Structure 1
Amino acid sequence: MVNMAARLHQKVGKNNIKDCKQMTAILESPIGAIQVSGCGEGIHSIQLQDNFVPKDRYYGTKLVSIMTRVASFSCELCESQEEMTAPVKHCMTWLQAYFCEPWTSGKLPLPVFHHPIFQQATFTCNVLRTLLNDVKFGEMISYKQLATLAGNSKAVRAVGGAMRSNPVPIIVPCHRVICANGQIGNYMGGRGNHLKQWLLTHEKLLKESRETS
């Protein structure tokens, strides 16, 4: 059973728009500690561990057992939940649903983002929002296909740059972007490829098990 207890501390941070008083919450998840930072306006960042090797990657898991495995994940928020800003609390709820009840995460409203990258009318922002809106749970898309969806089929490298710049992984699902040849490609600069494989397998098996049930 995976313990998903949140440990909180406060810090003061800044972004390029204005000074923000940020709250940072740490969620223990099946892929290790996930750090969520945000202010009262929205989420600034989600940081994943790049040196954590999941004990259960779902590799070789039969579809008949996948629902049992997901059901075994437990979710517990810390006692000081009221200290979290509303956007951070919302983000923690969404992440818990993604791991513990992933078939419900698509029905939940998405957290509001307050990172400067989402406040600018740039191709990077357009790519990230296109990915968020158009590539659903259990789906995958190539860098070139995403470039085309975002309005510039020749901007494949720029799409790769946008993935590296993504401040809120998992919610903006850069793990669903793969190479045209079917290889999963790099994640977190290549340091988190095992995490990318885990996330893709987590979604694939859940999607298939729901379709065949």
Structure 2
Amino acid sequence: MTDVAGSGMKKQKESGCTQKTISLRSPLGTIQVSGCENGVHTIQILMDVAPAERSSEAPLSCVVNDSPAEVSPELQRCVEWLQAYFIEPRTTGSLPLPGFHHPALQGDAFASRVLQVLLRDVKFGETVSYKRLAEMAGNPRAARAVGGAMRRNPVPLLIPCHRVISSSGQSGPYMSGRGNHLKQWLLTHERQRGEG
């Protein structure tokens, strides 16, 4: 990947498309969104700061830190969705999702099906167990495979892998265990901001 002369624009050729990256400053720290004219490729939470202290009254923000000069409509739609998620999360259900352009989200492999079911059926403020999500995706014995799909989710937040918890009700790991505190923050955020 090459950084284009201090503009913050990163270009990468992948499957015939040119990716650009937008950096956002959020309550979770820096979030980088990469995508092309066909859709979003990845969302990365860099974990460069501790999540903002939460109070149900505290105003939150999500602002663009660094952006290329030209942004595809799909990338812009993703930025708008993320901003709404942190500022007025109840509105995300009425916003259009951006297109996705990542191989893990295409085709009919079980992992892709799990991510699609999670996106479609587990709404804001809800949680689902790994086992139940496996059932919903058509393979009740594949709870472990659901965990693998969550680890490989290229677009966290948009596809809400933070909403998948253990059958015991414990939140379970996030970002391979490094982001457990972020998962807890996201679940609290959805509970507190989803009320009313």
Q: Distance in 2 between matches of 1:8 and 1:103?
A: 33
Query: Which of the numbers 35, 38, 41 marks the counterpart of 1:41?
Result: 38
For 1:84, what is the secondary structure of its paired residue? coil
For 1:151, what is the secondary structure of its paired residue? coil
Give the TM-score taking structure 2 as reference length.
Answer: 0.91
Deviation at 1:53, TM superposition (A): 1.4
Q: Distance in 1 between matches of 2:30 and 2:175?
A: 15
- 1:151-210 CA-to-partner distances (Å, cap 9, x unmatched) read 000001110000001000001000000000011000000000010000000001122x31
User: In 2 relative to 1, CA 188–80 (structure 1 residues): closer, same or farther, beyond 3 Å?
Assistant: closer
Q: Which residue of 2 aligns with 1:3?
A: none
Amino acid at match of 1:121: D
**Are 2:10 and 1:11 aligned?**
yes
Structure 1 residues not aligned, in runs of 5+: 1-6
Deviation at 1:55, TM superposition (A): 3.3
Map 1:41-60 → 2, pairs under 5 A: 41-56=38-53, 58=54
Q: Which residue of 2 aligns with 1:167?
A: 154
Comparing 118-127 with 132-141, greater Cα deviation is found at: 118-127
Deviation at 1:118, TM superposition (A): 1.5
Q: Which residue of 2 aligns with 1:30?
A: 27
Deviation at 1:73, TM superposition (A): 2.4
Counting aligned pairs with the same residue, the percent is 53
Q: Distance in 1 between matches of 2:167 and 2:75?
A: 35
Deviation at 1:85, TM superposition (A): 1.5
Query: Which of the numbers 102, 116, 120 marks the counterpart of 2:89?
Result: 102
User: In 2 relative to 1, CA 80–159 (structure 1 residues): closer, same or farther, beyond 3 Å?
Assistant: closer
Amino acid at match of 1:44: H
> After TM superposition, which residue ranges in structure 1, 4 or more long, deviate above 3 angstroms?
74-82
Say which structure is richer in helix.
Answer: 1
Contact 1:11 1:24 in 2 (8 A): yes
Deviation at 1:49, TM superposition (A): 1.9
Q: Which residue of 1 aligns with 2:112?
A: 125
Q: Which residue of 2 aligns with 1:181?
A: 168
For 2:94, what is the secondary structure of its paired residue? coil
User: In 2 relative to 1, CA 51–20 (structure 1 residues): closer, same or farther, beyond 3 Å?
Assistant: same
Q: Distance in 1 between matches of 2:49 and 2:101?
A: 27
Contact 1:9 1:23 in 2 (8 A): no
Contact 2:21 2:68 in 1 (8 A): no
Give the TM-score taking structure 1 as reference length.
Answer: 0.84
Query: Which of the numbers 15, 20, 39 marks the counterpart of 2:17?
Result: 20
Amino acid at match of 2:43: I
Say which structure is richer in strand.
Answer: 2
Structure 2 residues not aligned, in runs of 5+: 1-5
User: In 2 relative to 1, CA 79–50 (structure 1 residues): closer, same or farther, beyond 3 Å?
Assistant: closer
Amino acid at match of 1:89: Q
For 2:174, what is the secondary structure of its paired residue? coil
